[in-house]
């Protein structure tokens, strides 16, 4: 591995913003981290970890050294009648790992099929879709401390998973390189198809007791029909989190906006950010260079590969419009760098 200077990252981020890394190191083997870390230390450069680039907004110039996590490998650590424990390298492609786990006959990850990005990034925002979240299947995370270069382990509890959230976005934000994620997957589990879009698909296709493979295929079909393929239309999936409201906040809003959709959560309720954005008229603004997707108002698209500045300006317009109309501040999901 050699550290390279002034590397173009436009092809390494799915929003396709023009971006150059001052320094760049592809990590293909475990030993590559030590060499890159030494380089950063010698040159006193900050470190930034990049996976599949599907949840970042990259500015034109990224100072410091970008560590591109590309390490591959899967190892079964433990198998018994009810579960399997498998360690997966952080640079593995998430969807390929899910596909492999389902084809082994294991259950659990079927609802999370086709989420772009790497295994190492999955714990960062506790990726979730169709009523499931990855955190429940993670046993532990093996990482490197970017400050000291030392290895450490975090148990599931220490990861403090929440809705699109974890300790990696809070106390340990940008402090670690996740090298390996250890999953504990059930051998048999009834898939959860309670999420409305999934339930509707199963009903429509006569899937009465769907297997994990049926659900995996259903999720592929639904996602492909709804979400733009970032390889063709640059995007980072949902650009904002769904706001989480207390019951009192929800009740106050429902007085003004009785048609506001809402879903009960453990504490309070969640409202769909897509609905709020659409209600502010953003779906009709289809001639803007950066805009929301015509079928999904939560997905900001960047077809002309505009800069991060243009994307951020458009996102700020959405935030102000939603704040003004509904009094809700939408929280951006992808991380800003540079
Ligand atoms: C079309 C589309 C659909 C999507 N759908 C969903 C969805 O349904 N649910 C969902 O939760 N997300 C979704 N996403 C967002 C994205 O796919 C996930 O957040 C994914 O986990 C990001 O992985 P990545 O490897 O691309 O991370 P990157 O974008 O490279 O990085 C994201 C963050 O994680 C950090 N990071 C990445 N790898 C590591 C590592 N090994 N160690 C430490 N830090 C790391 C980065 O520094 C950065 O802060 C979608 C994105 C797209 C484009």
Query: pLDDT tens-digit profile of 225-260?
Result: 999 999 999 999 999 999 999 999 999 999 999 999
CATH node for 74-186 = 3.30.465.10
Task: Check if CATH label 1.10.150.130 holds for domain 235-337.
Answer: no
Q: Tell me the percentage of the chain whose pLDDT exceeds 70.
A: 100
pLDDT of residue 283: 94
What gap in Å lies between CA 77 and CA 142, rounded to an integer?
14
Cβ neighbours for 94, distance < 8 A, ≥ 6 positions apart: 52, 112, 115, 116, 117, 118, 119, 121, 122, 127
Mean pLDDT of all residues in 8-18: 98
Judge contact between 301 and 290, C-beta under 8 A: yes
Substitution candidate for ligand 1 out of 110, 170, 237, 296 with most atoms within 8 A of CB: 237
Indicate which residue's Cα is closest to atom 10 of ligand 1.
Answer: 127
CA of 259 to the centre of ligand 1 (A): 32
Judge contact between 235 and 252, C-beta under 8 A: no
- The CATH architecture to which 4-69 belongs is 2-Layer Sandwich (3.30)
* Displacement of CA 112 from its chain's centroid (Å): 11
Question: Where do the structural domains in the chain lie, given as residue ranges?
Answer: 4-69, 74-186, 196-226, 235-337
**Look-up of token digits 């890159």:** 36
What gap in Å lies between CA 149 and CA 143, rounded to an integer?
10
Substitution candidate for ligand 1 out of 110, 116, 174, 220 with most atoms within 8 A of CB: 116
Indicate which residue's Cα is closest to atom 39 of ligand 1.
Answer: 121
Mean pLDDT of all residues in 73-100: 98
pLDDT of residue 267: 80
Q: How far apart are the first and last CA of the chain?
A: 24
**Active-site residue, 335 included:** no
Diameter of the chain measured on Cα atoms: 62
Mean pLDDT of all residues in 135-152: 98
pLDDT of residue 264: 87
Number of other residues whose CB lies within 10 A of the CB of residue 325: 14
Q: Does residue 25 line the site of ligand 1, with CB under 6 A?
A: no
Inform me whether the pLDDT recorded for 188 exceeds 90: no
Cβ neighbours for 228, distance < 8 A, ≥ 6 positions apart: 235, 293, 295, 296, 299, 301
């Amino acid at each position: 591995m050699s550290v390279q200077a002034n590397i173009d990252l436009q092809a390494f981020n799915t929003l396709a913003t023009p971006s150059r890394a001052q320094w760049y190191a592809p990590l293909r083997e475990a030993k590559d981290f030590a060499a890159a870390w030494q380089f950063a230390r010698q040159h006193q450069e900050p470190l930034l970890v990049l996976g599949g680039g599907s949840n970042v907004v990259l500015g034109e110039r990224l100072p410091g050294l970008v560590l591109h996590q590309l390490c591959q490998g899967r190892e079964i650590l433990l198998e018994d009648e009810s579960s399997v424990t498998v360690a997966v390298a952080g640079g593995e492609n998430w969807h390929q790992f899910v596909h492999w786990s389902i084809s082994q006959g294991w259950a659990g990850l079927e609802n999370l099929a086709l989420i772009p990005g790497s295994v190492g990034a999955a714990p960062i925002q506790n990726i979730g879709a169709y009523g499931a979240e990855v955190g429940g299947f993670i046993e532990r995370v093996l990482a490197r401390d970017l400050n000291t270069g030392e290895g450490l382990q975090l148990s599931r509890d220490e990861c403090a998973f929440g809705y699109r959230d974890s300790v990696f976005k809070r106390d340990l934000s940008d402090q670690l390189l996740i090298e390996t994620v250890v999953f504990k997957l059930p051998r048999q589990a009834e898939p959860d198809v309670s999420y409305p879009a999934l339930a509707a698909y199963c009903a429509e296709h006569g899937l009465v007791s769907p297997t994990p493979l049926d659900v995996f295929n259903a999720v592929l079909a639904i996602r492909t029909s709804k979400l733009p393929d970032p390889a063709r239309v640059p995007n980072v999936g949902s650009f904002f989190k769904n706001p989480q409201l207390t019951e009192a906040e929800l009740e106050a809003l429902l007085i003004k906006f009785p048609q506001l959709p809402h879903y009960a959560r453990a504490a309070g309720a969640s409202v769909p950010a897509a609905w709020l954005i659409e209600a502010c008229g953003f779906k009709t603004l289809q001639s803007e260079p950066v805009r929301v997707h015509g079928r999904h108002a939560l997905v900001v698209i960047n077809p002309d590969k505009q800069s991060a500045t243009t994307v951020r300006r458009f996102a700020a317009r959405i935030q102000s419009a939603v704040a003004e109309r509904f009094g809700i501040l939408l929280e951006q999901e992808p991380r800003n760098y540079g």
